[in-house]
């Protein structure tokens, strides 16, 4: 599995496989929660199945749901009109979308445990572990 | 087409942000309402909706705080509709409405605190909470707006940014996703519809509901700056001159982190931010000063002059 840092570097490179990078971002989130990233697909996309898995029990993770769906949408546009100017525009938008997903997930991994943010549901004041 | 009378005069809940950083959103909302003949009755003695701070400590206290605003509107002002222009307030009032309709323990807590505070307990369904977008869309509609446009926004390319709280979580917005004419939680379009009716050209903007990092702007400023920079760059790549906003937190986040991105990361972007009410006000020929355009950090005046709109 690629690290988030490696994904960020690859995003800057020429012609990266953007859909695979987006999947890798979500794999990081799921693995960090101690689960095995699914190989299943939803609506033809593993990315959407990974998002569903990543959001299980964490409602605030749905804040990146539409980003994932937009990635799938623009992927379809690129595939449909491969080589056209419209496909290039869609590919450009995919770069922004994958970058946003990466920033959202890496930010979320950092703040997880600090408390609520936006529509999150994790309580801020958890009981501190008792010293042994 | 006759519009529902209930949206012509609504109880107005500006919320704390619109008295501070979002002051221009407050003045432009009032100015647009006046220009369109829509009336606002400010909720008397309103309080904070509980925002994120109270919710973190005790979610049911946030439910009570939001319910008090709705109780005053319903029981003391006789209002049937409460309009909240701030996404955070709108979200919290909708959440309180949902909790009071579905959770007995929330009802018990709200009743207990309301009695102690000496006001009538709010009961789910007493008022309908709407956003400023709903107010104009339902109160006037695109056709009505088009008739009133005196200064078309033609030539202005807009990326509409809704933020993440206007549509999430879906279950607290039962009126959305009901087919034609209703708002969509996955592809919101009310702001697009209104600004298009005002003559603007909406660009295809895939990050319209993406997170701006607003809630962790203090705990993790760098991530917030990078999230905002990505939104700004995507808007520019989509060809936008301006990002239209409908939330004071998102708006100030975009403005502040645009400045911070240049100072800290050396990344300059030139897209401007204006509240959708400021843009509608311009189209209705309300003077920019009355819309608070000069209060924005992002220099909207220069852009409006360049486009011969001011």
Using an 8 Å Cβ cutoff, are B194 and B145 in contact?
Answer: yes
Would you list which residues of chain A are within 8 Å, Cβ to Cβ, of chain B? 59, 62-64, 66-67, 69-70, 73-74, 92-93, 96-97, 99-100, 103-104, 106-107, 110-111, 114-119, 123-125
Residue A12 pLDDT = 76
Question: A132: pLDDT confidence band, cut at 50, 70 and 90?
Answer: very low
User: How far apart are the CA of A73 and the nearest CA of chain B, in angstroms?
Assistant: 10
Contacts 24+ apart (CB under 8 A), A56-61: A58/A120, A58/A121, A58/A122, A59/A119, A59/A120, A59/A121, A59/B169, A60/A108, A60/A117, A60/A118, A60/A119, A60/A120, A60/A121, A60/A122, A61/A29, A61/A108
DSSP annotation string for B249-291? HHHHHHHHHHHHHHHHS------EEEEHHHHHHHHTT--GGGG
Q: Choose the closest CB to B206 out of A93, A104, A124.
A: A93
Q: What is the pLDDT of residues A12-35, one digit of tens each?
A: 776 679 999 999 999 999 998 889
A11 against B72, higher pLDDT: B72
**A9 vs B32 pLDDT, higher one:** B32
B251-290 residue pLDDT tens: 999 999 999 999 999 999 999 999 999 999 999 999 999 9
% of chain B exceeding 70 in pLDDT:
98
Q: How confident is the model at residue A106 (pLDDT cuts 50, 70, 90)?
A: confident
pLDDT digit string, tens, across residues B18-46: 999 999 999 999 999 999 999 999 999 99
* pTM of this structure: 0.91
- pLDDT class of B99 with cuts at 50, 70, 90: very high
Nearest CA-CA distance, residue A35 and chain B, Å: 24
Chain A nearest C-alpha distance from B288 (Å):
32
Backbone angles phi, psi at B267, to 5 degrees: -110, 110
Band of pLDDT at residue A111, cut at 50, 70 and 90: low
* Overall average pLDDT of the A67-83 stretch: 94
Would you give the DSSP letter of residue A112? T
- Taking only the tens place, the pLDDT of each residue in B141-192 is 999 999 999 999 999 999 999 998 999 889 999 999 999 999 999 999 999 9
Query: Do B119 and B68 meet the contact criterion of CB atoms below 8 Å apart?
Result: yes
Q: Which domains does chain B have, with CATH numbers?
A: 5-130 (1.20.1050.140), 151-306 (3.40.50.11810)
The residues pairing with B161 across neighbouring beta strands, listed in sequence order, are B245
pLDDT of residue B243: 98
Give the rounded percent of residues in chain B with a pLDDT score beyond 90: 88
Q: What is the pLDDT of residue A119?
A: 41
What is the ipTM metric for this complex? Answer: 0.87
With bands split at pLDDT 50, 70 and 90, how would you rate the model's confidence at A122? very low
In angstroms, the CA B152 to CA B198 distance is 6
**Span A77-100, average pLDDT:** 93
Confidence of residue A112 (pLDDT cuts 50, 70, 90): low
């Amino acid at each position: 599995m690629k690290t988030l840092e490696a994904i960020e570097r690859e995003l800057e490179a020429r012609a990266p496989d953007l859909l695979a990078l987006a999947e890798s971002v979500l794999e990081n989130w799921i693995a960090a929660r101690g689960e095995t990233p699914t190989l299943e697909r939803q609506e033809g996309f593993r990315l959407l199945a990974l998002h569903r898995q990543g959001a299980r029990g964490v409602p605030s993770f749905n804040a990146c749901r539409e980003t994932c769906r937009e990635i799938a949408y623009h992927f379809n546009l690129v595939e449909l009109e491969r080589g056209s100017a419209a496909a290039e525009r869609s590919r450009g938008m995919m770069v922004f979308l994958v970058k946003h997903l990466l920033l959202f997930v890496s930010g979320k991994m950092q703040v997880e445990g600090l408390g609520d943010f936006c529509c999150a549901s994790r309580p801020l004041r958890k009981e501190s572990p008792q010293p042994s | 087409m006759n519009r529902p009378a209930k949206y012509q005069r609504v109880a107005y809940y500006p919320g704390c942000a619109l008295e501070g950083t979002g002051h221009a959103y407050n003045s432009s909302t009032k100015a647009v309402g006046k220009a369109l003949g829509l009336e606002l009755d400010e909720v008397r003695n309103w309080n904070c909706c509980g925002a994120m701070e109270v919710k973190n400590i005790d979610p049911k206290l946030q439910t009570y705080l939001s319910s008090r605003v709705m109780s005053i509107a319903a029981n003391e002002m006789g209002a049937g509709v409460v309009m909240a222009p701030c996404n955070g307030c709108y979200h919290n009032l909708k959440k309180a409405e949902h909790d009071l309709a579905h959770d007995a323990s929330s009802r018990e807590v709200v009743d207990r605190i309301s009695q102690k505070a000496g006001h009538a307990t709010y009961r789910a369904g007493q008022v309908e909470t709407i956003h400023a977008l709903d107010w104009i869309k339902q109160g006037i509609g695109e056709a009505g707006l088009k008739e009133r446009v005196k200064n078309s926004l033609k030539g202005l390319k807009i990326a509409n940014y809704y933020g993440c709280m206007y549509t999430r979580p879906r279950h607290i917005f039962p009126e959305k996703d009901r087919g034609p004419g209703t708002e969509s939680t996955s592809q919101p379009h009310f702001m697009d519809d209104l600004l298009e009716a005002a003559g603007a050209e909406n660009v295809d903007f895939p990050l319209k509901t993406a997170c701006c990092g607003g809630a962790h702007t203090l705990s993790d400023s760098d991530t917030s700056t990078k999230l905002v920079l990505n939104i700004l760059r995507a808007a520019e790549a989509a060809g936008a001159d301006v990002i239209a906003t409908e939330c004071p937190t998102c708006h100030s986040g975009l403005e502040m982190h645009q400045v911070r991105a240049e100072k800290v990361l050396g990344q300059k972007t030139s897209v401007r931010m204006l509240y959708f009410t400021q843009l509608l006000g311009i189209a209705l020929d309300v003077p920019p000063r009355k819309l608070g355009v000069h209060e924005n950090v992002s220099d909207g005046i220069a852009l409006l002059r360049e486009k011969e709109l001011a």
